């Protein structure tokens, strides 16, 4: 039996309690080549698909797998959802507004389906893993044909075949710790930079976060498979890889022969890929060896995304973050000292239950000390089933909004200050394609977006660019 064809005939609905369980059960590695039954290979012939992706890079990369699976079934990619026969929404559950966006788009799909009833509609990703969402889809959106989760993307061809044959709503979402499945085909969005998963899931259980429930237990890929994938990308001429995981610094701790992120980074650096990035880091697992390796290899980019979440020790404790403001600042000093050209970005949540003005000011103080290159800032959004959702929250929304504005003002001030340092400098930019302004665009080693004056034949190359103008969120320059 091909492991990915192996489903069950009954509905599999998500269960939050199950999803939050962690047992000592061994992780299963499925390492054989991915094959499709012949009957599936032509199922999409003459049909078009449209995949809409919400959320993080992990989802973006999952969609690259999904697209490859659909093309293996002979579907072709549509330019827009109106011309598609199969519409799939790959969803995000991290905050409430991700929910709202997806239900908004679903409304437009419903409208389209009224005129084109043959369209098959599917929902996958993190929202599908939520019990309440799956139930709502069952009760209120019976016209959604297929719902599947983050653990069974590889089963899409089989699920789709079923949906096309019987047109009854099919829900297959597993709430399990998860396995590691190698060799799912991939259709990469870029020819120059690639996402590479190094691990799945998360066991940190920060009290506000839904990810440990939607993505399962932390499971690292074996290093040999990661390196093989990157060596293959080098062969194909790729210039950059981003190593992806919810908490990449914990890479390898769960393997039967444990290893570390520092070790992995060193081996990836030796493949000769010109640029290596990694995200997301958790301050807890950022060890000295990793810092040493980043500073040692020129092809590991001097860019670290290090979520702070809060600068108040009291709130950090309530968040279950396992570090103090002092430890965080100590790590940042060490990083800045050992990697002089470092660019540092972060994530911050305001309005966590019980956050006082004093707590919030402590966050502002840490922002001043760290001088971030930029920050993603959010208002706390209660996620059903997480411990923080049950905490008493007396802060009025207006106050939360005010804190977000104040924080953003400060973040922008430093973003602008950091960018000013680039004026007149020559930096290396990987040119990714045309920019919206009609020039070219690309990113510096430190992840700054640059609009570049230059010829199209530079696309896909790392070139020297002189910075001629500076804005808060981007730089302008000319290729030299």
Q: Which residues bind ligand 5AD (CB under 6 A)?
A: 94-95, 208-209, 307, 309, 347, 349, 378, 380-381, 383
Contacted by 312, from ligand 5AD, ligand SF4, none: CB < 5 to 8 Å by type: none
Contacted by 205, from ligand 5AD, ligand SF4, none: CB < 5 to 8 Å by type: ligand SF4
Nearer to ligand 5AD, 180 or 349 (CB): 349
CA distance 223 to 237: 21
Contacted by 352, from ligand SF4, ligand 5AD, none: CB < 5 to 8 Å by type: none
Residues 6+ apart with CB under 8 A from 98: 54, 55, 91, 92, 127
Nearer to ligand 5AD, 209 or 366 (CB): 209
Q: Least Å distance between CB 271 and ligand 5AD?
A: 28
The candidate with the shortest Cα–Cα distance to 216, out of 264, 158, 269, 173, is: 173
Contacted by 192, from ligand SF4, ligand 5AD, none: CB < 5 to 8 Å by type: none
CA distance 195 to 125: 17
Q: Least Å distance between CB 202 and ligand SF4?
A: 3
CA distance 445 to 433: 16
Nearer to ligand SF4, 204 or 327 (CB): 204
Taken as a whole, the chain contains a residue count of 480
Nearer to ligand 5AD, 239 or 312 (CB): 312
Contacted by 247, from ligand 5AD, ligand SF4, none: CB < 5 to 8 Å by type: ligand SF4
Q: Least Å distance between CB 90 and ligand SF4?
A: 18
Q: Least Å distance between CB 125 and ligand 5AD?
A: 15
Contacted by 282, from ligand 5AD, ligand SF4, none: CB < 5 to 8 Å by type: ligand SF4
Nearer to ligand 5AD, 193 or 383 (CB): 383
For the record, the structure tokens of 254 come out as 């769960």
Nearer to ligand 5AD, 95 or 448 (CB): 95
Distance from the Cα of residue 216 to its chain's centroid: 15
Cβ proximity of 234 and 266 under 8 Å: no
Q: Least Å distance between CB 284 and ligand 5AD?
A: 13
Using CB under 6 A, list all residues that contact ligand SF4.
202, 204-206, 209, 211-212, 246-247, 282
Q: Least Å distance between CB 305 and ligand SF4?
A: 11
CA distance 194 to 278: 11
């Amino acid at each position: 039996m091909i492991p990915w064809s192996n489903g069950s005939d009954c509905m599999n609905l998500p269960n939050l309690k199950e999803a939050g369980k962690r047992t000592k059960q061994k992780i299963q590695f499925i390492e054989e080549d991915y094959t499709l039954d012949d009957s599936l290979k032509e199922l999409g012939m003459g049909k078009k698909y449209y995949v809409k992706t919400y959320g993080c890079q992990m989802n973006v990369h999952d969609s690259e797998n999904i697209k490859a699976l659909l093309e293996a079934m002979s579907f072709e990619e549509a330019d827009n959802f109106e011309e598609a026969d199969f519409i799939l929404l790959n969803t995000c559950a991290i905050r409430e507004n991700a929910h709202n966006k997806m239900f908004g788009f679903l409304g437009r799909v419903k409208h389209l389906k009224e005129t084109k009833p043959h369209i098959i509609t599917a929902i996958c990703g993190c929202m599908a893993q939520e019990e309440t969402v799956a139930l709502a889809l069952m009760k209120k959106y019976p016209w959604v044909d297929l719902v599947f989760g983050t653990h069974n993307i590889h089963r899409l061809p089989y699920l789709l075949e079923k949906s096309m044959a019987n047109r009854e709503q099919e829900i297959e979402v597993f709430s399990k710790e998860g396995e590691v499945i190698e060799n799912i085909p991939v259709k990469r969005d870029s020819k120059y930079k690639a996402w590479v998963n190094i691990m799945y899931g998360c066991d940190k259980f920060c009290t506000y976060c839904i990810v440990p429930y939607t993505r399962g237990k932390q499971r690292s890929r074996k290093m040999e498979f990661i390196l093989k994938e990157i060596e293959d990308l080098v062969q194909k001429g790729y210039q950059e890889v981003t190593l992806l995981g919810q908490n990449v610094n914990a890479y390898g701790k769960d393997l039967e022969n444990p290893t570390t992120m520092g070790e992995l980074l060193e081996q990836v650096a030796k493949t000769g890929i010109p640029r290596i990035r990694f995200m997301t880091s958790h301050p807890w697992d950022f060890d000295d060896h990793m810092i040493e390796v980043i500073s040692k290899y020129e092809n590991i980019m001097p860019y670290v995304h290090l979520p702070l979440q809060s600068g108040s020790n009291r709130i950090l404790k309530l968040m279950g973050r396992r570090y103090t403001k002092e430890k965080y600042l100590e790590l940042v000093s060490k990083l800045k000292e050992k990697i002089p050209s470092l660019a540092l970005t972060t994530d911050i949540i305001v309005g966590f239950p019980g956050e006082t003005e004093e707590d919030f000011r402590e966050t502002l103080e840490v922002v001043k000390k760290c001088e971030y290159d930029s920050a993603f800032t959010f208002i706390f959004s209660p996620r059903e089933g997480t411990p923080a959702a049950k905490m008493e929250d007396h802060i009025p929304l207006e106050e939360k909004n005010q804190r977000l504005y104040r924080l953003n003002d400060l973040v922008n001030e430093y973003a602008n200050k950091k960018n000013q340092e680039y004026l007149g400098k020559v930096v290396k930019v990987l040119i990714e394609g045309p920019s919206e302004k009609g020039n070219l665009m690309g990113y510096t080693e430190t992840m700054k977006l640059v609009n570049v004056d230059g010829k199209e034949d530079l696309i896909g190359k790392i070139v020297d660019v002189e910075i001629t103008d500076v804005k808060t969120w981007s730089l302008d320059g000319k290729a030299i």
